[in-house]
């Protein structure tokens, strides 16, 4: 250990001294980068906060002189935004729970049981991910109509729930769970059911949490499928609702921006608080390294 650090240090010190200028340049570069990435979001928020009728007048002010929550009031009074918000939460929750359940059981079975055709099955699951969704849309839509699920929450979430990639993700994670632990539980007389609930699930908690978050964000932002399934504005989730706002108010951006801000806030909050969780999950399973 000490030998290693001594070995490293001279080079590192040299590099550090040499690159003071580069370091400042990089710092400047990254500050620019940060502005480029944050400014559009800032613009969205202040546009939604400009007082009514002044969005055109005040547009030139980067730092607004007057703020008002009036747009948000209109959003809830003139548009069924509250309904959309609740729809989004319900549908997202249902989708994420259903999806995680299916992926966890499937992933566990594929990772920890040995059975004939397992690998074939696994490949078939992955292959189904490669099928372009657009190819399936029309026949999925026909199917939904046949099943009587058009214009229902089930129609929007059920067909998307079994995500092959989610199964893959869980399988990768489950592979890392030690077989010895499961066998020990078996020796102690635990049933398979008990093993799944009390040994596997607690150990897979990080992966489950990651998947849950990703599924939530996924559905929250999903537009295409809900757009096809729903025609009635009272069933819309947020993304479809905002699309309607964009279509309706092409020249009047305050409502659209307010709606967008409110739809983005939960995602950003989720993301900032659970950033570590998401990244950890992706790093351990998503890249397959370690």
Partner 1 sequence: MLYFRLLLVRPVAVLVQFKKRETMQVEPTSDITPASDALEVRLPHRLRLLNQEERAKLWLRIRRNWQLYVLLFLPLLWLVVFRYAPMYGAQIAFRDYSPAFGIEGSPWVGFANFERFFNSFYFKPVIINTLVLSFYSLIAGFPIPIILALSLNQVKTRLFRNSVQMITYAPHFISTVVIVGMLFQFLHPRVGFTASLANLFGMAPPNAMGDPGAFRHIFVWSGIWQEMGFNAIIFLAVLSTIDPALHEAAVVDGASRLQRIRYIDIPGLMPTAMVLLVLTTGRVLEIAFEKVYLMQSPLNLSVAEVINTYVYKVGLLSPVLDFSYSTAIGLLKGFVGLLLLIAVNHAARRMTGNSVW
Name which position in 24, 197, 271, 273 contacts partner 1 (CB under 8 A): 271
> Which segments of the chain does DSSP mark as H helices, in order?
2-18, 20-49, 70-78, 81-112, 118-130, 133-146, 153-161, 164-175, 179-187, 192-194, 201-203, 205-221, 224-229, 238-248, 253-273, 275-281
Restricting to residues 82-141, name those near partner 1 by CB under 8 A. 102-103, 105-106, 108-110, 112-116, 121, 125-126, 128-141
> Residue 86 or residue 145: which is nearer to partner 1 going by CB?
145
String marking each residue 137-166 x if it binds partner 1 according to CB under 8 A: xxxxxxx--------------xxxxxxxx-
Q: Under rule CB under 8 A, how many of the chain's residues touch partner 1?
A: 116
Least CB distance to partner 1 at residue 59 (A): 4
Q: Which is nearer to partner 1, 76 or 194 (CB)?
A: 194
Pick the binder of partner 1 from 72, 85, 153, 220 (CB under 8 A). Answer: 220
Rounded CA-CA distance 88/221 in Å is: 9
133: its two tokens? 């969704």
Confirm if 96 and 212 have CB atoms less than 8 A apart.
Answer: yes
As measured in angstroms, the least distance from the Cβ of 69 to partner 1 is 18
As measured in angstroms, the least distance from the Cβ of 106 to partner 1 is 3
What mask of x and - would describe binding to partner 1 in positions 164 to 183, judged by CB under 8 A? xx-xxx--x--x---xx-xx
Distance between CA 132 and CA 166 in Å, rounded? 17
Give dist(CA 207, CA 170) in Å, integer: 7
**Restricting to residues 12-31, which ones interact with partner 1 according to CB under 8 A?**
12, 14-15, 19, 22, 26-27, 30
Part of the chain binding partner 1 (CB under 8 A), chosen from 65-73, 75-83, 201-209, 266-274: 266-274
Residues in CB range of 220: below 8 A, 6 or more apart: 88, 92, 237, 238, 239, 263, 266, 267
Q: What is the C-alpha end-to-end distance of the chain, expressed in Å?
A: 22
Q: Which stretch binds partner 1 (CB under 8 A): 64-72, 73-81, 201-209, 239-247?
A: 239-247
Q: Does 289 bind partner 1 (CB under 8 A)?
A: yes
Q: Provide the residue count of the chain.
A: 290
**Residues 266 and 237 sit within 8 Å (Cβ to Cβ):** no
Q: Which is nearer to partner 1, 76 or 105 (CB)?
A: 105
Least Å distance between CB 190 and partner 1?
A: 12
Q: Does 217 bind partner 1 (CB under 8 A)?
A: yes
Asked if residue 249 lies in contact with residue 255, where contact means CB atoms within 8 angstroms, the answer is yes
Q: Give the residue from 218, 201, 213 showing the smallest Cα distance to 277.
A: 213
């Amino acid at each position: 250990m000490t030998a290693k650090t001594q070995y490293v240090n001279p080079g590192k010190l040299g590099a550090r001294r040499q690159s003071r200028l580069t370091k400042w340049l990089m710092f400047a570069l990254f500050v620019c980068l940060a502005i480029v990435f944050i400014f559009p979001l800032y613009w969205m928020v202040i546009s939604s906060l400009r007082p009514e009728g002044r969005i055109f007048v005040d547009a030139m002010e980067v730092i607004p002189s007057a703020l008002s929550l009036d747009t948000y009031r209109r959003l809830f009074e003139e548009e069924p935004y509250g309904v959309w918000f609740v729809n989004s939460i319900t549908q997202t929750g249902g989708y994420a729970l259903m999806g995680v359940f299916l992926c966890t059981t499937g992933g566990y079975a594929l990772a920890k049981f040995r059975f004939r055709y397992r690998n074939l099955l696994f490949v078939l699951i992955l292959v189904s991910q490669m099928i372009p969704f657009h190819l399936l849309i029309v026949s999925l839509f026909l199917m939904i109509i046949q099943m009587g699920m058009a214009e229902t929450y089930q129609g929007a979430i059920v067909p998307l729930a079994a995500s092959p990639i989610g199964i893959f993700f869980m399988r990768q994670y489950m592979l890392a769970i030690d077989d010895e632990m499961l066998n020990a539980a078996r020796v102690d007389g635990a049933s398979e059911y008990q093993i799944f609930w009390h040994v596997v699930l607690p150990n897979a908690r990080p992966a489950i949490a990651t998947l849950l978050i990703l599924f939530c964000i996924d559905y929250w932002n999903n537009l295409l499928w809900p757009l096809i399934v729903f025609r009635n504005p009272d069933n819309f989730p947020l993304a479809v609702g905002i699309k309607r706002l964009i279509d309706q108010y092409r020249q009047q951006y305050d409502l659209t921006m307010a709606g967008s801000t409110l739809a983005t806030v939960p995602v950003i909050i989720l993301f900032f608080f659970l950033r570590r969780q998401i990244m950890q999950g992706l790093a351990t399973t998503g890249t397959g390294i370690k």
